[in-house]
Amino acid sequence: MAFNLKNSPLMYDVIVIGSGLGGLSSALALAKAGKSVLLLEQHNLPGGCSTSFVRGRFEFDAALHEFCALGEDGHLGYAGKLLKEEYGIDIDTCCAPELFRAVLTSRSGQYYDVTLPFGEEAFTKALEKAVPGNKDAVEAYLSLSKECYEVSQYFDAHMFLKKKRNGDVKISALHFMKHYFRYLQVAEEPYNEVCRKLGMSEDVIDILNCYRVYLGVDGNTISFAHLATMIYSYIAYKPGYIIPNSHALSLSLQEKFESYGGKTFFGVKAIHVEADKKGNITGVSTDHGFFACKGVIANMYPLSAYNGLLSPNIKVPMRERKRYKAAPPSSRFVNIYIGLNKSIEELGIDEYTLFYPGDLRYPRLTNGPLDYLQAAATHYNRIYPEASPKGTSIMTLTLEFEDDIWANVPVQDYFKTKEAIAKKAIAEYEEVRIKLYKYVIVIFLVVVTTDLFTKSNNTKDIVTFIKNKESI
Ligand SMILES: Cc1cc2nc3c(=O)[nH]c(=O)nc-3n(C[C@H](O)[C@H](O)[C@H](O)COP(=O)(O)OP(=O)(O)OC[C@H]3O[C@@H](n4cnc5c(N)ncnc54)[C@H](O)[C@@H]3O)c2cc1C
The per-residue pLDDT string of the chain (472 residues; one tens digit each, 9 = 90 and over) reads: 545 555 566 899 999 999 999 999 999 999 999 999 999 999 999 999 999 999 889 999 998 999 999 999 899 998 999 999 999 999 999 999 999 999 999 999 999 999 999 999 999 999 999 999 999 999 999 999 999 999 988 776 665 544 554 445 566 778 778 888 899 889 889 999 999 999 999 999 999 999 988 888 889 988 999 999 999 999 999 999 999 999 999 999 999 999 999 999 999 999 999 999 999 999 999 999 999 999 999 988 777 788 889 999 998 888 877 776 666 666 778 899 999 999 999 999 999 999 998 899 987 777 778 888 899 999 999 999 999 999 999 999 999 887 777 778 888 888 888 889 999 999 999 999 999 999 999 888 887 654 444 444 333 333 333 333 232 2
The finding on whether 273 has its CB within 6 A of some atom of ligand 1 is: no
Name the residue among 323, 352, 358, 357 with its Cα closest to residue 463.
323
Residue with the smallest CA separation from ligand 1 atom 20 is 49
- Residue spans in the chain of domains classed CATH 3.90.660.20: 332-448
Q: Return the pLDDT at 217.
A: 83
How many whole angstroms separate alpha carbon 346 and alpha carbon 348? 5
Indicate the SS3 state at residue 150: helix
How many whole angstroms separate alpha carbon 36 and alpha carbon 11? 9
The finding on whether 269 has its CB within 6 A of some atom of ligand 1 is: yes
Minimum-distance ligand 1 atom for the alpha carbon of 46: 49
Ligand 1 center–CA 21 separation, angstroms: 7
How many whole angstroms separate alpha carbon 201 and alpha carbon 110? 12
Minimum-distance ligand 1 atom for the alpha carbon of 49: 29
What's the topology of domain 332-448? Polyamine Oxidase; Chain A, domain 2 (3.90.660)
The finding on whether 41 has its CB within 6 A of some atom of ligand 1 is: yes
The finding on whether 336 has its CB within 6 A of some atom of ligand 1 is: no
Residue with the smallest CA separation from ligand 1 atom 11 is 67
Structurally, what CATH architecture does the domain formed by 5-58+246-327+457-471 represent? 3-Layer(bba) Sandwich (3.50)
Residue with the smallest CA separation from ligand 1 atom 6 is 64
Residue with the smallest CA separation from ligand 1 atom 7 is 64
The burial of 454, by beta-carbon neighbours within 10 Å (0-12 exposed, 13-18 middle, 19 or more buried), is given as buried
How many whole angstroms separate alpha carbon 240 and alpha carbon 107? 31
The finding on whether 270 has its CB within 6 A of some atom of ligand 1 is: yes
Query: What's 337's DSSP letter?
Result: E
The finding on whether 302 has its CB within 6 A of some atom of ligand 1 is: no
Minimum-distance ligand 1 atom for the alpha carbon of 460: 26
The burial of 84, by beta-carbon neighbours within 10 Å (0-12 exposed, 13-18 middle, 19 or more buried), is given as middle
Residue with the smallest CA separation from ligand 1 atom 12 is 64
- Residue spans in the chain of domains classed CATH 3.50.50.60: 5-58+246-327+457-471
Q: Return the pLDDT at 327.
A: 64
Residues 412/440, Cβ–Cβ less than 8 Å: no
